[in-house]
């Protein structure tokens, strides 16, 4: 495909799996707003404002279209929402404490955890390729979180890895909701609703950070990039090959690495990039089980 053809597809919205490239860049930019926003807000507040923006945006569109928000599967939405909330909370905390690319890579261990959880909870059989992917992923995590990390970095690294675990649990319930026939927009809406309520409860235990023009701009950037990224990702999975889309999702790591190096000088040692590569390969193999 030539550049002019690609430009035409971009103008007409016919990108197919290419929408995941757009989503990956937006997710990386979301990470930038999280990291810069941490100077003004706690991770709890950042997650709250991010999900509040998403809930209101989706709710307004759904109501404008005359669609119903009622569901017969609230318990499944609740489990997905709670796991998703804690994944996002740990992820945002890791972003505030670690190089952006490192935090993003740890969160992208979710396919590895999903494969392991599917075997443990759903009794799915793991083939040789998935077993190999789990071994590669484990090696990548150990290399990325090598013992030379300080105690604080180890805590943040554990949080980032925990975000991947909770994301894997959330994806299990996303699959369940898909089998129950719930549309994607409803799954996303209830996730943002439950996460916003959880964030509101947790914010009661801390003093709210003051809002100013600069901090409001960061929150707006966080809300816009995360919501547009979610929409682009949904479009990618709808119009493109799901395996191609899943592989392109790892461009978020690449974009985050470039942005981290440009904005904060976060250049990792060679073994860090090797570790990131191992985790990416692990995720690609795990998603094809």
DSSP string covering 213-245: HHHHHHHHHHHHHHHHHHHHHHHHHHHS-HHHH
C-alpha 64: how far from its chain's center?
A: 27
> Residues 18-39: pLDDT tens digits?
888 999 999 999 999 999 999 9
In 3D space, the residue among 104, 47, 59, 148 whose CA is nearest the CA of residue 254 turns out to be 104
3-state secondary structure of 262: helix
Look at residue 165 and tell me if it is in a domain: yes
3-state secondary structure of 16: helix
Q: How confident is the model at residue 270 (pLDDT cuts 50, 70, 90)?
A: confident
In 3D space, the residue among 95, 153, 93, 99 whose CA is nearest the CA of residue 269 turns out to be 99
- How many structural domains comprise the chain? 1
Owning domain of residue 87? 17-286
Cα(64)–Cα(48) distance, integer angstroms: 24
Look at residue 77 and tell me if it is in a domain: yes
pLDDT for position 191: 93
pTM exceeding 0.75? yes
pLDDT: is 134 or 107 the higher one? 107
Q: Check if the beta carbon of residue 223 is closer than 8 Å to that of residue 229.
A: no
Look at residue 236 and tell me if it is in a domain: yes
Q: Check if the beta carbon of residue 283 is closer than 8 Å to that of residue 164.
A: no
Look at residue 12 and tell me if it is in a domain: no
pLDDT at 44 over 90: yes
Look at residue 210 and tell me if it is in a domain: yes
Least confident span in 6-15, 101-110, 255-264: 6-15
147 phi, psi to nearest 5 deg: -60, -10
How high is the mean pLDDT of the chain? Answer: 85
Look at residue 84 and tell me if it is in a domain: yes
pLDDT for position 7: 47
Look at residue 193 and tell me if it is in a domain: yes
Q: Check if the beta carbon of residue 271 is closer than 8 Å to that of residue 102.
A: no
Q: Check if the beta carbon of residue 23 is closer than 8 Å to that of residue 232.
A: yes
Cα(19)–Cα(26) distance, integer angstroms: 11
pLDDT at 13 over 70: no
pLDDT at 188 over 60: yes
């Amino acid at each position: 495909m030539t550049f002019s053809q690609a430009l035409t597809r971009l103008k007409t919205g016919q990108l197919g799996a290419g929408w995941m490239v757009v989503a990956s860049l937006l997710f990386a930019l979301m990470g930038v707003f999280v990291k810069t926003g941490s100077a003004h807000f706690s991770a709890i507040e950042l997650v709250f404002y991010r999900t509040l923006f998403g809930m209101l945006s989706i709710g307004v569109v759904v109501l404008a279209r005359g669609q119903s928000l009622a569901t017969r599967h609230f318990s499944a939405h609740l489990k997905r929402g709670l796991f998703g909330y804690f994944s996002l909370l740990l992820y945002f905390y890791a972003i505030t404490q670690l190089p952006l690319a490192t935090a993003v890579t740890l969160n992208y261990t979710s396919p590895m955890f999903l494969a392991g959880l599917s075997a443990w909870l759903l009794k799915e059989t793991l083939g040789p390729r998935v077993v190999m992917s789990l071994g590669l992923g484990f090696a990548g995590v150990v290399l990325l979180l090598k013992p030379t990390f300080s105690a604080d970095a180890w805590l943040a690294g554990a949080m980032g890895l925990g975000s991947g675990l909770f994301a894997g649990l959330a994806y299990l319930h996303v699959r369940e909701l898909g089998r129950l026939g719930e549309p994607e927009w409803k799954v996303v809406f209830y996730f943002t609703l439950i996460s916003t309520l959880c964030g509101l409860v947790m914010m009661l235990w801390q003093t709210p950070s003051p809002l100013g023009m600069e901090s409001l701009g960061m929150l707006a950037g966080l809300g816009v990039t995360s919501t547009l990224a979610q929409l682009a990702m949904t479009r990618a999975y709808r119009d493109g090959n799901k395996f191609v889309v899943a592989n392109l999702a790892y461009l978020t790591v690449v974009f985050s690495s470039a942005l981290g190096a440009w904005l904060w000088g976060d250049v990792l040692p060679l073994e860090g990039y090797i570790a990131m590569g191992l985790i990416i390969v692990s995720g690609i193999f795990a998603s094809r089980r």
